[in-house]
């Protein structure tokens, strides 16, 4: 799977990207609203380099076309006809529109697969993420397990 946007490629992780992934994923302040953080290299390697399954959830690398470097990641999980979407951008690439661009490209790909809805869970205090979801067309759907759930229902 490779998904292209104007500045990014979204694809499976490569072994040389585990270390840069760890650099931002283990940054406690940057990742204060995220899960899947503060783990060992072995745990990350197993999750990132193993055989991905949409039904178990996969992490995909978001790579700059210009520099071929890791700038963030996308989480994707399929539950029947519903897809769950997550996204993270490294602090060095924040505020440059990469999260919007990568998430929008992923949404287009998901819609081509056929879905009834796309959902995203957000920590209550993560205002930038909620703003991004609103910009992408998601609507607030309620609270579930301490997270605010946003839904995009206009799947084909």
Question: H helices within 3-93, ranges in order?
Answer: 18-25, 41-49
In this prediction, residue 34 carries a pLDDT of: 67
CA–CA gap between residue 39 and residue 29 (Å, rounded): 15
Residue with tokens 């503060």: 38
> HSE of 150 in the Cβ direction (CA atoms, 13 Å)?
20
pLDDT over 90 (residue 12): yes
Which tens digits make up the pLDDT trace of 89-112?
Answer: 998 998 999 999 999 999 999 999
Q: How many helices (H) and strands (E) does the chain have?
A: 4, 8
Which tens digits make up the pLDDT trace of 110-140?
Answer: 999 888 899 999 998 899 999 999 999 999 9
Integer CA distances (angstroms), 116 to 62, 113, 119, in order: 25, 10, 10
Q: Which fold has domain 3-112?
A: Aminopeptidase (3.40.630)
The pair of three-digit structure tokens given for residue 5, joined into one six-digit string: 């946007």
In this prediction, residue 40 carries a pLDDT of: 76
Which tens digits make up the pLDDT trace of 19-61?
Answer: 998 888 777 666 556 666 566 788 878 888 888 789 999 999 9
User: What's the pTM value of the predicted model, to 2 decimals?
Assistant: 0.89
Residue 37: which residues within 8 A CB-CB, separation 6 or more?
25, 26, 28, 31
């Amino acid at each position: 799977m490779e998904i292209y946007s104007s500045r990014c490629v979204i694809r499976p992780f490569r072994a040389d990207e585990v270390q840069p992934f760890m650099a931002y994923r283990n940054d406690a302040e940057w990742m204060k609203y995220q899960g899947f953080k503060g783990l060992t290299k072995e745990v990350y390697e197993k999750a990132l380099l193993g055989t991905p399954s949409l039904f178990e959830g996969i992490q995909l690398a978001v790579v700059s076309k210009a520099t071929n470097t890791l700038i963030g990641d996308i989480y994707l999980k399929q539950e029947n006809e519903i897809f769950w979407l997550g996204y993270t951008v490294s602090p060095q690439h924040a505020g440059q529109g990469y999260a919007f661009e990568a998430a929008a490209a992923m949404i287009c790909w998901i819609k081509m697969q056929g879905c009834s809805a796309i959902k995203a869970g957000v920590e209550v205090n993560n205002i930038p993420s909620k703003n991004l979801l609103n910009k992408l067309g998601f609507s607030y759907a309620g609270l579930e397990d301490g997270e605010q759930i946003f839904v995009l229902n206009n799947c084909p």
